[in-house]
Structure 1
């Protein structure tokens, strides 16, 4: 069995400010444990902060496009069921995540990542009209989806 070639891969790492903000667990845990034991407070603070950072890093979703599938987090869909992807940035991206959003859409969005790509889903068995995916490289993701949807051997138009 041939392994499909990956055309696009991105991990949605947490924003640096989120890692910095989670450092507030350090003084909070020290404050709680200081009356009991300062060394226990320090050790607990370090372990809690390390655990928070580890959860953020391990839980960062991956977006991947190969010759057959689009994977976004735990979800996957065959490329032959997808329509033409659309890129949104700035105010348009905010509208796509908010007022223009269809409640039936499937979402993989991160607040710290502005651009989104919407991908129509043409599966009669699925009521989901489209996917909304946050990405730091929206044009590359859209190009990978569009390029992978072409039949093998088809040439790109100029």
Structure 2
């Protein structure tokens, strides 16, 4: 029987500063609508803030999970049997793999506001994807969860 809890789960939430920016977007809409009266001003404040907050939340909603024998990263679901070595990337190395070391065929779950990442080789010969680049705040834990999912349970 598989355990009900995932050995690893992380939501790549947007940074707190983005929520402040959402309020500032609402204030900007309010100022734009100020010449039209109080009601449009309030509508711009509420509507602009709400739309900006929904966009920040949607961008920050991807999750990375290791469940059973699969790695789920955003919309991608990859069996751990198709994965090879995992490399923990410090901020400098992560930046390199996002830029000049990057392969256009790679799967990137990239969030620039998260400085660390995990690069996992894809060993499936049928898959043209050479590796997965996963922005994560806890790359060591994610690598350990993938390795643990590869090891058959006793």
TM over 0.5: yes
The 5 A counterparts of 1:40-79 are 40-59=40-59, 60-79=61-80
Deviations 1:75-133 (A, max 9, x none): 11000000021101121111111111111110001011000100101112211000000
CA distance in 1, matches of 2:28, 2:120: 42
The 5 A counterparts of 1:1-158 are 5-59=5-59, 60-153=61-154
The number of aligned residues is 153
CA distance in 2, matches of 1:47, 1:61: 24
TM-score by length of 1: 0.88
Unmatched 5+ residue regions in structure 1? Answer: 154-158
CA distance in 1, matches of 2:108, 2:17: 23
CA distance in 2, matches of 1:91, 1:101: 14
Runs of 4+ displaced beyond 4 Å: 1-5
Q: CA RMSD in A?
A: 1.7
Please say if residues 79 and 149 of structure 1, whose CA atoms lie closer than 8 Å, have aligned partners that are also in contact. yes
Deviations 1:26-53 (A, max 9, x none): 2321222111112321232122212321
Unmatched 5+ residue regions in structure 2? Answer: none
TM-score by length of 2: 0.91
Once the two structures are TM-superposed, the CA of residue 2 in structure 1 deviates from its matched residue by: 5.6
Please say if residues 4 and 68 of structure 1, whose CA atoms lie closer than 8 Å, have aligned partners that are also in contact. no
